[in-house]
Chain A
Amino acid sequence: MLVVGSGMAGLIAAITAASRGKSVRLAARGAGHLAVGNGCVDVLGYVDGEIVRGNPVDSISRLSGDHPYRRIGAETVAESLAFFARLCAENGFDLAGGNGENQWIPTALGSFKPTWFYTPAMNRETLSMADRIVITHMPWLKDCHADMVKACLARQRRLMSKDMYIEETAPFRAHRNLTPLAAARFVDTEAGERWLLSQLLQCLQRSSSGRRTAVLLPPILGVTRSAEIRARLSEALDADLIEMASPPPGVGGLRIRRTLLRAAAGVGVTVMENAHVVEARVQGQRCVSLVCDATGGEREVKADSFIIATGGFLNGGLVAAPGGKVCEAIFGHALPAPERTEDWTMPDMLDSQPYAKLGVQTNTRLNPITPEGDALPDNVYFAGRTLAGYDFVNEKSGMGVAIATGYHAGMNC
């Protein structure tokens, strides 16, 4: 079988299908959003603007009937999340969360967002348990503003009574374009780890006291050795280190992607990179092959079944054309969209946006269907952001839908 797309949905679909003994090829042009994501897996944070309490899977019944979670069913969603957690554990990736209720993790803005799985370094409880919070100020790093973080933290009821300090750190090198990713890479080296330790030691000395300390950092604790680095530094400093989720490149997603690629290779998935799928050959109700635009011309790839996980407008799975037309990029199906483009957006940016819900409509097996409900090729399955019916920004469900639908497609194909 053939999977298109190497974001979260495509990788999970490929791994699921290959674990069932299928021979799987994965074709992708581009690495997918996971490579620059922050590593948080949101499952469901809000329904109709209301905060989800308890296990988010239990709130699926409150979503509208055309939401992908409703299509595949809450049980499948729970199963897929367990599968993902197992996959990470088996491949040595330490994942936190995934039980009780959503965790509110700190972001580089100083705000908190609800998520289901996260890296252990993002655990907010550590902040609540600390007596004092040291916010590292790295003015030389992009998108990190300690003053704003402090102001936001001080507004939190559970945190406002804590001692909070801002401590400035010296850059590890002079450059106008340092991102948390560049810093994380440096910290991965021995010299980098030493540099961070000495910086943090100075931070803690300046505001020293014998109480329990939490140190808030941008995501710079390494890419490949993050767990051991964090453990060593926490011990040496006698403090808990907490990373904030940052905008792209967010480091945490790259850590997960490395894990999933290793897992995929382990179950025999073969990857065809830089292969841009441009066309589908369909005979009656079946798709026989997909055509890639590769060096040396078109290349036809045949398979018994196909999973399309090509993402949304950003990564090319959905295409919008002037005149309010939207279509799926490979099969070219026209997708239902509000006639007037003015109706694609809502005046309040923070509202759920109609354009965010545009996408491919499917049946419960994730085969595409026409707006009238008729089945299109029944050996084709859609997964991830290509699907219609959910606004991942507004409900905080992006990676969750990608995992759940990728898993479901991989189980059904």
Chain B
Amino acid sequence: MNMNVRIPQPDRCIACATCVAVCPVAQNCPDFPGPRMMGPARQRFRLMGMGEDEASHYCANCKNCDIACPGDVPVSAFIMRAKAEICKKNFPKLRDWILAHGEVLAHCLRFIPAVFKNFGMTFAPARLLLDAIGIARKASLPNFAPQAFRARLARLAQPNLSRAVVFFPGCFVDTYEPESGLDIVAVLNRAGYKVIVPGTTDDSGAFVCCGLPMVANGFWQDARDNARRNLKTLAAWAAKGMPILTACPSCALMIGKDYAEYFPALIAPGQSSSLVDVCDFLIGCVERGELALPAAPQKVETVFYHAPCHSRALGIGLPGLDLLREIPGIQAEYADSGCCGISGSYGFKKDKYPIAMRVGAPLFEAMRQSGATLCASECGTCRVQMRHGGGKQTVHPVSVLRRYLG
């Protein structure tokens, strides 16, 4: 037996129900029995081979249960493992495969121009087709970028700088929002760091999707394969003592925390698989004097900031908000309105869309009440949901900084 394998212990749960009190899905969907029942309580039956509760598909994997648990019970991990078991037994939905494998899909469609792909996203008959396989017709799906982030970075002439960082772009920035990736590169260059994206700016092995959407949709083995590839690439760069950054809190959480929780056997003894949050890194740059911030402009601009649940789950505070507060002339307004509801691909699903919109309602209301015209959040799909539900321009905090740096 591999001694690395940690067996999850449902008995660490004392059934205090704190997770039920904070779960955004349980708050908005009476059909979901809540994290305690679906996680540790059900786990006792699972260990005895006593069947499954189908309601685990309601879990959005937002991690609010893990954040609130006083006893270190891996609540969401129990539910994700259960989803994987269900997915193994029952043939998974085509819709779930598509949402779990955005990277593969984008790769297959790479020769089709974005205009045609995006036409498919807005064209009514195409949406009917998507609706038929279970993708909500009302959801705003993100647009494919004409060119992926990595393709654009490969052609970008970065200044010659002595220091360098490695960047894990994540699927969202790569496929849908290369601009935010390029903003990050520009700001890091400004701080004196050249940005390396393996397989793009050099010919080493490339990063692949972190695997979180696969886990959330039940494709455990696919996620494990991706984890193995990423861990190999990460180890090689970590051995060079290079900081590895990401702008996506979900990738950071998956790689830095969940890999060890889900696939302990893949982690070599002593290996740390962590990514550094780019906002956190940039605050360090400001403190070390590597990045000079411009003098305060005449006019103060208010930026409305929403903390993604996965940022909160990282346990590092809110560096995105702290960074905005560092920028002279920015008044950062903290939303403090809970989950936005989207949870990656959850809110795009036809049966989950109404739940996601109810979950996000307090945030949308706060956005509308706010005087700010610009909003910020680190997570790509949170931004999609904020634009959709709150109707305001929403960018990554580093994009706000880039605008100020000029």
A contacts, CB < 8 Å to B: 25, 27, 29-33, 35-36, 173, 175, 177, 179, 181-182, 185-186, 248-249, 254, 261-262, 265, 270-276, 292-297, 299, 311, 314-316
Q: Find out whether the CB atom of A30 lies under 8 angstroms from the CB atom of B68.
A: yes
- Is B314 part of the contact surface with A, judged by Cβ < 8 Å? yes
- Known A248-B16, A265-B334, A296-B256: A31·B315 in contact at CB below 8 Å: no
Given contacts A31-B70, A177-B37, A296-B314, 10 further A-B contacts (CB under 8 A): A36-B21, A179-B20, A185-B27, A270-B317, A273-B315, A274-B66, A274-B314, A295-B313, A295-B316, A297-B272
Q: Is B126 among interface residues, defined by CB-CB distance under 8 A?
A: no
Nearest 6 interchain pairs by C-beta: A296-B274, A294-B315, A30-B70, A272-B317, A295-B256, A31-B68
Q: Which chain A positions have C-beta within 8 A of B33?
A: 175, 177
Q: Which of A175, A295, A311 contacts B315 (CB 8 A)?
A: A295
> With A and B bound together, what is the CA distance between A182 and B68 in angstroms?
18
A295 & B314 in contact (Cβ 8 Å cutoff): yes
- Determine whether B257 belongs to the interface, using a CB cutoff of 8 Å to chain A: yes
Q: A36, A185, A274, A293: which contacts B16 (Cβ < 8 A)?
A: A36
Q: Which of A36, A175, A274, A292 contacts B18, CB < 8 Å?
A: A36
Q: Looking at the assembled complex, report how far the CB atom of B13 sits from the nearest CB atom of chain A, in whole angstroms.
A: 12
When distances are taken between beta carbons in the complex, the residues of chain A under 8 Å from B66 are: 274
The reply to whether B312 and A273 contact each other, CB–CB distance below 8 Å, is yes
Question: B34: shortest Cβ distance to chain A, in Å?
Answer: 8
Partner of B314 from A30, A33, A294 at Cβ < 8 Å? A294
- Tell whether B275 is near chain A: CB-to-CB under 8 Å: yes
Interface residue from B72, B253, B274, B312 paired with A297 (Cβ < 8 Å): B274
- Given the interface pairs A30-B70, A175-B33, the reply to whether A299 lies near B316 with Cβ below 8 Å is yes
Check A275–B274 contact: CB distance below 8 A.
no
Q: Does B225 contact A (CB under 8 A)?
A: no
**Given A30-B69, A274-B67: A296 touches B30 (CB 8 Å cut-off):** no
- Chain A residues with Cβ under 8 A from B49's Cβ? none
Knowing A35-B18, A177-B33, A249-B20 are in contact, say whether A270-B318 is a contact too (CB < 8 A). yes
**A181 touching B316 by the CB < 8 A rule?**
no
Chain B contacts for A179, CB-based, 8 A: 17, 20
Contacts of B22 in A (CB 8 A): 31, 35
B18–A30 CB distance below 8 A: yes
Cα separation A292 to B20 with both chains bound (whole Å)? 25
Docked CA distance A273–B307 (Å): 11
Pick 22 A–B contacts, CB within 8 A, sort by A: A29-B72, A29-B315, A31-B18, A33-B16, A36-B17, A175-B30, A177-B37, A181-B21, A185-B27, A249-B20, A261-B336, A270-B317, A270-B322, A273-B312, A276-B72, A295-B256, A296-B256, A296-B275, A297-B272, A299-B316, A314-B14, A316-B70
Q: Is the Cβ of B30 less than 8 Å from the Cβ of A273? A: no
Decide if A295 touches B21 in the complex (CB within 8 Å): no
Given contacts A35-B18, A297-B274, contact A273 B71 (CB under 8 A): no
Q: In angstroms, how far is the closest chain B Cβ from the Cβ of A138?
A: 16
B contact residues around A262 at 8 Å (CB) = 336
Nearest neighbor of A317 in chain B, beta-carbon distance: B70
CA distance A262 to B366 in the complex (A): 13
0 or 1 for each of B285-320: is its CB under 8 Å from A? (1 = yes)? 000000000000000000000000000111111100
Max count, chain B CB within 10 A of own CB: residue among A30, A270, A315: A30
Chain A CB within 8 A of B80 CB? no
The CB with the most chain B CB atoms within 10 A, among A25, A33, A35, A293, is that of A35
Residue of A nearest to B249 (CB): A295
Q: Which residue of A lies closest to B14 (CB)?
A: A314
Tell me the nearest residue of chain A to B28, going by C-beta.
A185
In Å, the complex CA distance between A275 and B27 comes to: 24
Q: Which of B21, B276, B334 has the most CB of A within 10 A?
A: B21
Binary A-proximity of B49-88 (CB < 8 A = 1, otherwise 0): 0000000000000000011111110000000000000000
CB <8 Å contact, A275 and B316: yes
The residue from B16, B30, B318 contacting A182, defined by CB atoms under 8 A apart: B30
- In this complex, what residue of A is CB-closest to B252? A295
| Complex CA distance for A182 and B72, rounded to whole angstroms | 24
Q: How long is the Cα–Cα vector from A314 to B252 in the complex, in angstroms?
A: 30
